[in-house]
Amino acid sequence: MMVAANFLGALAPLLGSASAFPAQNALAPVSDWRENPTQLTLQVYVPSKIAAKPAVILALHYCGGTGAAYSQTTEYNSLADSKGFVVMYPSQAKDNHCWDVATAKTLTHDGGGDSTGLANMIKWAIKEYDADPTKIFVTGSSSGCMMSNVMAATYPDLVAAVSCYSGVAAGCLAGSPGSSPQSADPACANGQHVKTGAQWAAQVKAMYPACNGSYPRFQTWHGEADNFVNYPNLAEQLKEWSTILGVTWTNDNTNTPQSGYTQIVSGDGTKLVGYSARGVGHTVPVHEDADLKWFGISHMLYFDPLIDPL
């Protein structure tokens, strides 16, 4: 025990303060990440065995939800325990707990909206956990998928890949009075904003004109029986991102990844994939294994300071 204590004491200057290793195997609140212009809140799940240079998943809740509630509807935390990645669960309390995907601020890189607060969380996590900046991933359901689209458009320099469920194209709600079912112009959710790929791409590029042209790999899921965020929104997302990513439809794979689902492949399937779920309404259930495969999280190397000191 004395040897261990002396060893940990010797490691202390290298490991830094205890804040670098916050509570593990539990959802822990964080309040001191950079600028937070829209008063978002954040909880983080850190596994007891964290990978060296871990991946980070930003998981965005649905309307009416919270980060904590969303964490209970997915298996990301248990998968983090086995894979060693970190999961961030932000919350938005305004506009019926829906993410702002409508205002000019949030649809602009560093514009001071919800997207800016989320980007600052990502930057904080990269530093806090010594995360791999090339392994930052975004997912979410419904409003969370809408914001996933927005994050891919406004912060392509931070996000490596997206996989999200039952959302709309980035910019679909631009100029709407709000982003919730109670406050938004219903035309977007109803699937009535039909544009060409070039029109969608122009909206995306206007959100971050200084982008070098590199955008995240994108995967999106939608239920064919979705009458809340209507099914045509899947096609609009695929038009938007196929144009941005420079790929076109290649083929459909039926009953993939399960019966009743059709995988819609663009290009060679490494940049853009859609999933159409027959008979599924709002929202498509989270497919965590498919998400991790898309993100490229298969196995991680754990870092244990008692075994592998810095």
pLDDT bucket at 34, cuts 50 / 70 / 90: confident
Per-residue model confidence (pLDDT) at position 215: 98
13-22, 57-66, 160-169, 239-248: which has the minimum mean pLDDT?
A: 13-22
| CA-closest candidate to residue 286, choices 141, 181, 88 | 141
pLDDT bucket at 18, cuts 50 / 70 / 90: very low
Catalytic residue among 91, 115, 141, 142: 142
Kind and range of the H or E run holding 143: helix 143-154
Per-residue model confidence (pLDDT) at position 300: 54
pLDDT digits (tens, 9 = 90+) for 191-232: 999 999 999 999 999 999 999 999 999 999 999 999 999 999
Measure the CA–CA gap between 159 and 95, rounded to whole angstroms. 25
Per-residue model confidence (pLDDT) at position 4: 32
pLDDT digits (tens, 9 = 90+) for 156-202: 999 999 999 999 999 999 999 999 999 999 999 999 999 999 999 99
Give mean pLDDT, residues 8-21. Answer: 33
pLDDT digits (tens, 9 = 90+) for 73-98: 999 999 999 999 999 999 999 999 99
Question: What's the pTM value of the predicted model, to 2 decimals?
Answer: 0.90
Helix (H, G, I), strand (E, B) or coil at 199: helix
Find residue 141's DSSP bridge partners.
Answer: 165
> Is 115 marked active-site?
no
| CA-closest candidate to residue 28, choices 129, 99, 101 | 129
Measure the CA–CA gap between 212 and 101, rounded to whole angstroms. 23
pLDDT bucket at 13, cuts 50 / 70 / 90: very low
